[in-house]
């Protein structure tokens, strides 16, 4: 077998004891600072659930010719 071959372990063979598990803490940015969700009151959690993720398009793009093109 080649040295760079990746050997994958089937997921069903991985066992984790309950004592080894840790809670996943999710943080969000609220009013300019980061806070864990589990410290939020029900109203703030509801606001967080209603938020939408958006991506702003870039202001300019570098074309294959090397020129910058504005406003795509």
Integer Cα distance of 72 and 60 in angstroms: 7
- The residues spanned by each domain of the chain are 22-53
Residues 58-72 have a mean pLDDT of: 80
Q: What are phi and psi of 18, to 5 degrees?
A: -60, -35
7 DSSP 8-state letter: P
Residue 38, pLDDT > 80, answer: yes
Interval 42-51: pLDDT, tens: 998 898 889 8
**Residues 68, 61 contacting (CB under 8 angstroms):** yes
What average pLDDT does range 40-59 have in this prediction? 86
- Structure-token match 């703030």, residue found: 44
């Amino acid at each position: 077998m080649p040295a760079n071959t990746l050997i994958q372990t089937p997921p069903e063979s991985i066992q984790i004891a309950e004592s080894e598990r840790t809670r996943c803490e999710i943080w969000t940015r609220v009013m300019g600072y980061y806070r864990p969700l589990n410290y939020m009151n029900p109203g703030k959690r509801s606001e967080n659930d209603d938020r939408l993720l958006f991506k702003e398009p870039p202001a300019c793009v570098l074309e294959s010719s090397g020129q910058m093109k504005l406003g795509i």
